[in-house]
Amino acid sequence: MAKKVLITGVAGGIGLETAKLFLAKGWEVIGTDIKEMEEALDINFIQGDISDEANSKIIFDSINGRLDALVNNAAIQLFKSLKELSIQDWHHVFKSNLYPVFFIARQAVELMKNNESSIINICSIHALATSMNMSSYASSKGALLSLTKSLAIDLAPFAIRVNAVLPGAID
């Protein structure tokens, strides 16, 4: 029986390349994204906005049995100065970059516990060292890094490892 991974933000960039790697290793891949897949992959793809908790629950209706890994990759970047940044922008970035990790991880625990499973949160170097016009993105990724640390402690008794990857700029 193939191991199973759920990857959010699977339609491009890091998510797409991560899916390809898991497929090459023989894993069953379930992927979700707000946008359509442009590249055809042999995965169970579910299109939807996981920043809405109700939509994130739909994913788990399609997962049968266990879940061995979760890659929380879905995110948006917003380049605006503090003066240009509206409260709606701020909420949108946090709702897109932080809330889905909470929603998805909370639902995944039951499918992952006691399987020696892993949750990998794709954070960003901006959580530690940022640049101009990135306050909302950097703050959301800093919060994600803190959430990752807390989840690692909370989920350790269930044999679920939780780690973050902090990539820099990518193509």
Amino acid occupying residue 72: N
| CA dihedral sign, ordered 135, 77, 138, 132 | negative
Tokens at 152, concatenated: 């690692």
Report which of 118, 38, 116 is spatially closest to residue 72, judged by C-alpha positions: 118
Q: Cα(67)–Cα(112) distance, rounded to whole angstroms?
A: 5
Tokens at 105, concatenated: 């991880």
From the candidates 72, 137, 140, 141, which is the catalytic residue?
137
Task: Establish whether 137 is a catalytic residue.
Answer: yes
Q: Are 170 and 13 in contact (CB under 8 A)?
A: yes
Active-site residues, by number, are 137
